[in-house]
Amino acid sequence: MTNTPSVTLHMINDEMRIHDLELAARLRCSKRIKLRDLIKRHVNELAAYGFLATVEKASEVDGGRPSEEFFLNEGQAIRIAVLADVLDTQTVCEMVVKAYADYRRGLTSITAPTPDLAPVLSILQQMAETLAHLTKHMVSR
């Protein structure tokens, strides 16, 4: 195996997983939707490697649609990399294998997925501004 960088593993339901967005970036997929469509088209095949973990992501405050994010186990990530059939497939497969090998040897730490609090904070900010505006124009009796 060449000296390739590793990918980040996340603990999801007591199993180490790779986030689909990181895999898409490593595969240099132009759009995350492209990789997610590939995952959805091969969901039955990926199930042979184990449970396909998904996380529903709510739409952003500015708009947009809710999305479904995937966290792939080792076999699923390698299979999707092969199915993507891009120039970097071999390198990405090496990254995945290295990340899991390092984890099994205890050489890496576990990264818990961090929740995206920006939409919640934006809503709270809007509520605070609305309350400030309303109380400013209240007439005392």
Domain span at residue 42 reads: 10-114
**139 belongs to a structural domain:** no
User: What is the C-alpha to C-alpha distance for residues 141 and 38, in angstroms, rounded to an integer?
Assistant: 64
**69 belongs to a structural domain:** yes
User: What is the C-alpha to C-alpha distance for residues 26 and 72, in angstroms, rounded to an integer?
Assistant: 14
**88 belongs to a structural domain:** yes
**41 belongs to a structural domain:** yes
Whole-structure pTM value: 0.67
User: What is the C-alpha to C-alpha distance for residues 60 and 47, in angstroms, rounded to an integer?
Assistant: 30
Among 37-46, 112-121, 126-135, the minimum mean pLDDT is found in 112-121
**127 belongs to a structural domain:** no
pLDDT at 76 over 90: yes
**89 belongs to a structural domain:** yes
> How many domains in the chain?
1
pLDDT, tens digit (0-9, with 9 covering 90-100), for 48-72: 999 999 888 776 656 667 778 899 9
**62 belongs to a structural domain:** yes
**133 belongs to a structural domain:** no
